[in-house]
Structure 1
Amino acid sequence: MLDKQSRVLYVGKAKNLKNRLTSYTRFTGADHNKTTVMLSKVIRVDTLLTATEKEALILEASLIKKHKPKYNILLRDDKNYPLIKVTVQDTWPRVHMTRRRKKDGAKYFGPYSSSSSMWATLRLLADMFPLRKCKGNTVKLRTRPCLNLQIGRCLGPCVNIADKEEYQDQVKKVLMVLEGKNTSLIDELRQEMMKASDTLHFELAAELRDKISALSRTLEKQIIASSGFKNQDVFGYCRQGTSIAIAILFIREGLITGSRNFFFNDPMESDAIILSQALNQFYDGKALPAKEILLPFPIEDSVILAERFSELIGATVGLTIPQRGDRVRLVTMANTNAAHVFDEKEKKERSWQGLSASMEKLLRLDHIPNHIECLDISNTSGKQAVGSLVCYKNGEAAKDHFRHYAIKTVHGPDDYAMMEEVLQRRFKRGIAENNLPDLFIVDGGRGQLGIALRVADELGIRDELDWIGIAKEKNTEGEKLYKPGRKNPILLKSHNPVLLYIMRIRDESHRFGVTFHRKLRAKVSIASVLDTIPGIGPGRKRKLLKQLGSVKRIREASLDELSQVKGIGKETAFVIHQHFHPQNK
């Protein structure tokens, strides 16, 4: 269903499209009802016919993910949550954090809703299993061992002393930990410890004993959810008024290894359809289901979903609504977690209401600061200049509205002119789209605030929002807050929640800008060196950097090392080598 601007409002599927659409034409509800509001905006309906129900199911999920329709439920993308990646496809695999799941042959674990638990897991793995920490798919040979090898935290593939079989055994044990097979691994390590003791290898036996102890402590912290040592995904569901919450518990080998929560405010459709769509979106081929999925009530398309999920993992997946025993207890636990989402949301709202009231009072604002934006400018002597705009709504970062602005009209180090350009672009668009913030913060003192007010006066929006400038602390004066029409800055105590919140927004805008600025700077740095070499285009440049890791490493590489890069022949290798070592001509 599309509106007059051809924006997708809603995506749905049905065996009989005529009956489905007719049900909407006969719909009667209150004026404020979400379906009534949506139908009032629908100008056109496009249809796509599929050969099977399963194809329709997959198509529905992909269209929702692509268009993000306002009136469909939309599960948050996993890119915001960390994953643990084991590069099993590499000759010498490594373990590290990532936020992107790729089809590259690696094994991914997560997503972890708690980054602290993910980092704790990585630290445990690094302490127990001496795999390489160096970046890249291939190991660069070194003449001197790295520090990790010297302190016993790496087997040393970079200096050719690692035993391949022993290394792969360590990788296997890492995978057992991440798959939740701690009990099986402890039994295996215990056998190795006894064997080492019997053969009088007491130092090895002591190392294995310490690993068993560390794993046992980890096991004690994990919640035992099932005595059957099964892999299960348990869905909980809670509706309060027009809003719903969905919770998912991930159980591996009988232990709860993680959870995810989703909240939807006033979704359309029945509970059976909403939960069905949630499953269809969540298991998208990147996130894979367990062999048993426990549900709180029957859902639409359960048979087709079970078939699709079975194809994803190459094994039978069962969708079960338990009636008795441990499974009912697990669903009850998941339902409790879903209900807890409402409690947490209510706490956050109360906390934000208190903080926003304090901001209004202390800063004497004319508007409730539910929508706050902050601007920062990053550059190096005027080069690779970028404006970074961050957005906070109801006390939380609205990352969908974060923006980078490449400076187009200013040349040279003029921060004021750069700020003016970005503000003109942001506010002109804000006026056109009617999405101006309630409070705008500029990173700087009177000068920067003056630029913002000048732009606001030109556009006639000065009184439509509040303005604050925050100047960094100098010596022991503390952070200073500047307001229009006030001569002296507002000085709040260093522990004041209002000041801490504004500083957090300012620091986030700085981080957001500096990160992007460094990428631009690195890109220009790489381009300035490699792009001057005859015969090196974007493709070969990528291959060189991927295999050798950096411009410095390319500069130091021998002819043999350069010619071994895929796509770089002996002649090109010679040209590259001569470019960096002209004295060898």
Structure 2
Amino acid sequence: MFKSELIKGAADAPGVYLMRDAAGQVLYVGKAVSLRKRLLSYTRIDQDGARSKTAVMLSKVVRVDTMLTRTEKEALILEAGLIKQHRPRYNVILRDDKSYPHLKVTVQEEWPRLLMTRRVSKDGARYFGPYASPAAMWETLRLLNNLFPLRRCKGEKLPPGQRACLNYQMERCPGPCIGAITPAEYRQRVAQVLAVLEGRQRELTRNLELRMNSAAAALRFEEAALLRDQVRALHQTLEKQVVLSRQGGDQDVFGFARREGQVAVALLFIREGALADKREFVLDEPLDDDGEVLAELIQRFYEPAQRLIPRRILLPFAVAGAAALAEWLTEKRPGPVRLAVPQRGDKKALVSMAADNAAQVLVEQQQRRDGWERLADSIQRSLQLAAPPRRVECLDISNLGGREAVGSLVSFHQGVKEPSRYRRFRIRGQDTPDDYAMMREVLLRHLTRAGAEQVLPDLLVLDGGKGHLGVAQAVVAELNLQDPPALAAIAKDRQGAGERIFRPGRKNPLALPSHSPVLLFFMRIRDEAHRFGITFHRKLRGRKQLSSRLDQVPGVGPARKLALLQKFGSLRAIATASPAELATVAGIGPELAVIIHAHLH
């Protein structure tokens, strides 16, 4: 139970509070109009029948720090900064944003580019997304590259003294490097790209139609034909979008659903009255009531500086601190932002549709959980485990004759990939092809750290046979782990036609049919570990092959190597260049050019 002694002296004023455990770690950061009233509400949790996650957190709290602010909006801003700093375990944190792709327009450059990225940074560029569907993102990128192509060459500045590339010859680049397009025309093209990404296709279509008619009237038929094709392509895109609001305009619509402590939120992006995209969030047993949970999620979602904020945000119910939240969003936009809870008409229908989407997310989550529980029970019976596994990890070793050896570990939680728990290991102690020694090194490193962090898996699967399983048994015994994972290994049979699963204490592998769900799951996680490891291994091999030959040339350091690669693009191109061509690179004179050419040949 939360002790009232922890909040003695709390002021009846707006501010932020930090709940800490015995180690001083911040468990939760919250804001309130009245700190005293908000903290007193936690002392009544037991009587009010709180959900288990809230009670567990409060049982760990040994200290509460408070910070006073002048207004509720200041408390909101301070809370956001403290959550970003401490990343508290019990706050709503949208950890999945980095895994979704964004489209980036480098408007800070003289000649902007359009590209895909998964990393959003404060570099002055415009970011659009995140796209819940990578397929939708790639379709948008293809459309823009076809309608309003921008330059595709790398680097913030145009490479000097270059002739037109193949993209220009194929009409996939306007050719700014050779002066084929003026800066004003290029900026107009960038503005058209931004209009599409901002959801202003109808406005852009009307402008293009006016320009097309004007060009046709002036007998500029080639220009008019190009504009006609752009208008047709945009019309085809608009026909695919579902018009949801007859009033048009941009708005974000939130839907909310709660089921047995789990919360799902669906967010519909309406642009010019049409559904442009959708995002979904699932929160396991969030603290506080629905209004506070939704307010915190809205704050976390719109916090990134690059996020596009519409003028109207529709909500299923009133949220805590709505006035301060609207004021904060207005400053970020900039421009007025209205948080509305519609009661009738089209807007109410939009909120109801978003709520239906949120409820469907919970139904699908439950179906996945039920499916995993059946599979986990089958794994327990087949492998004779003490309990059904929740977290399953798989370890694989990749090497080429012992060189550039790496270990790759993937993690699945309740049957779903857990990328945040994926790990890669560069094997340090072996330069010879000794799989057992490599496996032992990686197991020691991983299990030692996982044991210290208390995040050991329930089941650890090895890509290998009985020998690899024996190595894992020895490592587990050596570490004397408090709650050691169950072990298994998967390997192809001697004919290479089927798969076998080995378990400690069994002489022969498990006899599972080829269509067994247990065997198929083991093959899936083994293939995922192999994929994850082999990409890292290839990257290391490529990096070594690229660097070794240039690094061995006397007089070529990191700066000159970078200049060579920027000029020629690849090691093969450098090797085929003549001494005279090499000498044109900044920092490479005629004498060094001869040395480089001789060394590479």
TM-score (norm 1): 0.86
1:107 aligns with 2:126: yes
2:240 equivalent in structure 1: 221
Partners of 1:8 and 1:398 in 2: how far apart? 24
Structure 1: 5+ residue stretches without partners: 563-572
Q: Aligned in 2, Cα 1:92/1:486: closer, same or farther, shift over 3 Å?
A: farther
CA distance, structure 1, for counterparts of residue 512 and residue 262 of structure 2:
41
The alignment status of 1:404 with 2:430, answered yes or no, reads no
For residues 447 and 413 of structure 1, the distance between their equivalents in structure 2, rounded to whole angstroms, comes to: 15
Q: 2:455 aligns with which of 435, 447, 455?
A: 435
Aligned residue in 2 for 1:452: 472
Counterpart in the other structure of 2:201 = 182
Deviation string 1:427-486 (CA, Å, 9 cap, x unpaired) is 234444443322211123333333223323444679954433233699861444444424
In the alignment, which of 273, 284, 287 is matched to residue 265 of structure 1? Answer: 284
> CA 1:541–1:371 in 2, change beyond 3 Å: closer, same or farther?
farther
CA distance in structure 2 between the partners assigned to 1:170 and 1:444 by the alignment? 55
SS in structure 2 at match of 1:259: strand
**Is the aligned partner of 1:168 residue 2:191?**
no
Q: Deviation digits for residues 100-120 of structure 1, max 9, x if unmatched? A: 112222211111111111111
Residue identity opposite 1:12 in structure 2: G
Deviation sequence 1:240-267 (CA, Å, 0-9, x none): 2322222211112222211221122222
Q: CA deviation at 1:81?
A: 0.8
Letter of the 2:167 partner, please give it.
N
- Pick which of 421-430 and 357-366 moved more: 357-366
Superposed, which structure 2 residues align to 1:309-324 within 5 Å? Answer: 309-324=329-344
What CA deviation, in whole Å up to 9, does each residue of 1:389-440 have, x standing for no partner?
A: 1110111112222222333433444332121011122223444444332221
**How far, CA to CA, are the matches of 1:473 and 1:209 in structure 2?**
62
Report the alpha carbon displacement of residue 492 of structure 1 after superposing the two structures with TM.
4.3
**Does 1:6 find its partner at 2:27?**
no
Which residue matches 1:512? 532
Residue type at the aligned position of 1:251: I
How far does the alpha carbon of each residue in 1:8-42 deviate from its partner, in whole angstroms, 9 at most, with x for none?
21111234434433443454345974333222211
The match for 1:568 is none
Paired residue secondary structure (2:27): coil
- Deviations 1:523-569 (CA, angstroms, capped at 9, x unpaired): 666776569887967xx68985997696758997867763xxxxxxx
In the alignment, is the contact (CA less than 8 A) between 1:302 and 1:319 conserved in 2?
A: yes
Deviation sequence 1:179-223 (CA, Å, 0-9, x none): 112222222333444445555665555544443333222211112
Matches within 5 A, 1:384-403: 384-403=404-423
In structure 1, what residue type is equivalent to 2:475?
V
How far apart are the structure 2 equivalents of 1:307 and 1:561? 54
Q: Distance in 2 between matches of 1:323 and 1:25?
A: 35
Match of 1:28 in 2: 46
In structure 2, distance between residues paired with 1:579 and 1:62? 53
Please name the residue that 2:73 is paired with. 54
Task: Summarize the Cα distance change of 1:542–1:243 in structure 2 as closer, same or farther, 3 Å threshold.
Answer: farther
Residue in structure 2 matched with residue 98 of structure 1 by the alignment: 117
- Equivalent position amino acid for 1:425 in 2: R
Partner of 2:14: none
Q: Does 1:43 align with 2:66?
A: no
In structure 1, the partner of 2:106 is: 87
Q: How does 1:14-413 map to 2 (within 5 A)?
A: 14-25=32-43, 27-29=45-47, 33-140=52-159, 145-198=164-217, 205-284=224-303, 285-360=305-380, 367-413=387-433
**Could you tell me whether the CA contact under 8 Å between 1:155 and 1:161 is conserved in 2?**
yes
Worse overlay, 186-195 or 369-378? 186-195
Q: Is the 8 A contact 2:92 2:300 kept in 1?
A: no
In structure 1, what residue type is equivalent to 2:418?
Answer: A
Query: RMSD of the TM alignment (CA)?
Result: 3.5
Separation of aligned partners in 2, 1:60 and 1:286: 20
1:567 counterpart residue number: none
Unaligned runs of 5+ in 2: 1-18
CA displacement 1:47-89 (0-9 Å, x = unmatched): 3344543232122123223333233222234111110111222
Q: Report the Cα distance in structure 1 between the residues aligned to 2:554 and 2:320, rounded to whole angstroms.
A: 60
1:31·1:37 contact (CA, 8 Å) conserved in 2? no
Counterpart residue type for residue 109 of structure 2: D
Percent of aligned pairs with the same amino acid: 46
Measured at CA, do residues 313 and 193 of structure 1 come closer, stay the same or move farther in structure 2, by a change above 3 Å?
same
* Aligned partners of 1:367 and 1:439 also within 8 Å: no
User: Which residue does 2:487 correspond to in 1?
Assistant: 467
Inter-partner Cα distance in structure 1 for 2:482 and 2:60: 33
Answer yes or no: is the 8 Å Cα contact 1:478–1:491 preserved in 2.
Answer: no
SS at 2:66 equivalent: coil
Secondary structure of the structure 2 residue equivalent to 1:400: helix
Q: Hey, what's the Cα distance between the residues in 2 that align with 1:190 and 1:211?
A: 9
3-state SS in 1 of match to 2:32: coil
Q: Does 1:487 align with 2:505?
A: no
* Residues 241 and 274 in structure 2, CA contact (< 8 A), matched pair in contact too: yes
| CA displacement 1:111-169 (0-9 Å, x = unmatched) | 11111111111122223233233333233357664433333222233455444444333
180-189 or 408-417: bigger deviation: 408-417
Segment of structure 1 superposing worse, 175-184 or 360-369: 360-369
Q: What is the DSSP-based 3-state SS (H/G/I as helix, E as strand, rest coil) of the residue aligned with 1:508?
A: helix
Return 443-452 or 217-226, whichever deviates more.
443-452
Q: Secondary structure at the match of 2:309?
A: coil
| Pair 55,516 (structure 1): closer, same or farther in 2 beyond 3 Å | farther
* CA deviation vs aligned residue, 1:259-278 (integer Å, no higher than 9, x gap): 22112222221222212211
Residue type at the aligned position of 2:508: K
**Aligned equivalents of 2:323 and 2:566: distance in 1?**
46
Q: Distance in 2 between matches of 1:335 and 1:345?
A: 15
Quote the Cα distance in structure 2 between the aligned partners of 1:543 and 1:305: 48
Q: Distance in 2 between matches of 1:211 and 1:160?
A: 23
State the TM-score, normalized to the length of structure 2: 0.83
CA 1:323–1:533: 2 relative to 1, 3 Å: farther
Change (3 A) 1:203 1:277: same
In 2, the alpha carbon distance for the partners of 1:32 and 1:428 equals 34
Moved more, 392-401 or 345-354: 345-354
Distance of 2:582 and 2:70 partners within structure 1: 57
